[in-house]
Every structure is written in structure tokens, then in C-alpha cells.
């Protein structure tokens, strides 16, 4: 999966380069097709954009077929939901750590949706209040092993892979393996869907 960063600075920040050493960089959405036609995930630096400019550039990038991750210098709930509603598949801080950037990239590359843990919990809370009970609430956790259930519960609460590994005294590689199994067995694509499923089971 190839990544391209769209930033007016025209250069990769150190964190971005550490996360994706082979990533490309362009200064505008208009330059994507010419300078990064093979890229599939576009990371949009919105730090110097007003709302109108961001909407236009996000729409242009998604229309061109890119999976867009919006990067904000001041992440907020309303801003995140607006970006996701406009077609973004990810939303994170402009200064996210390389490890988190790689996690975001992995999720969106596999068709999932990524947002910060606190926003996932907010979305879960809204969903529980506004959505009627559905078949997802009847998912049987018995299909998971005890360790997979532990991982699922921690992730659904917003924990990162590193935090889950520390809490369960296992490696991050093991967490990733368990999480992949959880996604497959519960038929969910990402942490957001997992959190929704787990919250409805608990409810």
C-alpha cells in the first residue's frame, strides 16, 4: 500500500517519514494524480485550511479514488465527524507518533475506519442511545478464545496495541494476531465496529 502526504510545506515531517519511509509528498490535492498516481492512501494536512478549503480538497481526493486520512493540528469531535461524513476514512493528530500512524495506515488500507480512542467511545455512546437493538447485539463471544475476548474488551475501551500488550503481558505482535482473529470471527473491519459490537453485547 503506497502512501502520499498532502501538505503545503512540501516535505515529510520526521514522524511521517519514520512511519512510512517510502511515502511521497505533494503540496496540493491537484498534484496527486500527476505526482502520486500509484498511491492509495492520501494523508491530508489540514493545519492551514479553513473549513471550505478542507471540504473541497477532501472531496477532490476521495473522488479521485484515494482513501483519505485527515490530519488536524487541533483534533476535535465535531471536526472529526464532519471529516468522516465528508468521506475521510481516518482522522488523527498532525503530530501523531509513528507507531500510531502505521496503525492508522494498516486499518484504512484494509478498508476500515480509524479515529482516536476518545472519539470511538463518543461514537459508541451515541450509537447505543440512538440505534435500536440489532442482530449485532446477539453476537456470541463464545466464538472467541479467552485471550481473544480479553484483547477485544481492551481494544473496545480504546486501548492501543501497546497498551493491550502491557495490560495482558503479551507482545504487540501477539495482540495484532489476536485482533485479526477477533475481526474475522465477529465479522468486523476495524476498532470502531468492534467497539460498537462490544458495547451492544454489554448493553
Q: Is the pLDDT of residue 128 over 60?
A: no
Taking the whole predicted model, whether its pTM rises above 0.75 is answered as: no
Cell reading at 39: 498511491
pLDDT score recorded for residue 15: 94
In contact, 40 and 20? CB cutoff 8 Å: no
In contact, 43 and 6? CB cutoff 8 Å: yes
Q: Given pLDDT bands bounded at 50, 70 and 90, which one contains residue 133?
A: very low
Cell reading at 92: 488523527
pLDDT score recorded for residue 189: 80
Q: Which of 72-81, 93-102, 103-112 has the highest mean pLDDT?
A: 93-102
pLDDT tens digits along 8-55: 988 999 999 999 999 999 999 999 888 888 889 999 999 999 989 999
The rounded distance, in Å, linking the Cα atoms of 113 and 198 is 16
The rounded distance, in Å, linking the Cα atoms of 170 and 173 is 8
In the DSSP assignment, the letter for residue 132 is P
**Which domains are assigned to the chain?**
3-114 (3.40.50.2300), 120-202 (3.40.50.2300)
Q: Given pLDDT bands bounded at 50, 70 and 90, which one contains residue 138?
A: low
Q: Is the pLDDT of residue 178 over 90?
A: yes
Cell reading at 130: 440512538
Q: Is the pLDDT of residue 129 over 90?
A: no
Amino acid at each position: 500500500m503506497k502512501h502520499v502526504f498532502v501538505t503545503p510545506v512540501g516535505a515529510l515531517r520526521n514522524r511521517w517519514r519514520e512511519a512510512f519511509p517510502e511515502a511521497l509528498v505533494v503540496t496540493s490535492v491537484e498534484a496527486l494524480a500527476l505526482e502520486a498516481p500509484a498511491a492509495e492512501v492520501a494523508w491530508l494536512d489540514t493545519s492551514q485550511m479553513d473549513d471550505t478549503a478542507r471540504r473541497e480538497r477532501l472531496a477532490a481526493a476521495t473522488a479521485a479514488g484515494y482513501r483519505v486520512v485527515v490530519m488536524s493540528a487541533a483534533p476535535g469531535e465535531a471536526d472529526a465527524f464532519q471529516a468522516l461524513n465528508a468521506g475521510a476514512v481516518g482522522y488523527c493528530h498532525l503530530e501523531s507518533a509513528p507507531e500510531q500512524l502505521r496503525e492508522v495506515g494498516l486499518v484504512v488500507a484494509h478498508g476500515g475506519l480509524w479515529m482516536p480512542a476518545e472519539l470511538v467511545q463518543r461514537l459508541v455512546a451515541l450509537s447505543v442511545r440512538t440505534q435500536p437493538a440489532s442482530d449485532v447485539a446477539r453476537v456470541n463471544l463464545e466464538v472467541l478464545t479467552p485471550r481473544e475476548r480479553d484483547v477485544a474488551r481492551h481494544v473496545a475501551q480504546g486501548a492501543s496495541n501497546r497498551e493491550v500488550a502491557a495490560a495482558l503481558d503479551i507482545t504487540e505482535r501477539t495482540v495484532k494476531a489476536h485482533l485479526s482473529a477477533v475481526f474475522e470471527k465477529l465479522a468486523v473491519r476495524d476498532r470502531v465496529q468492534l467497539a460498537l459490537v462490544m458495547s451492544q453485547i454489554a448493553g
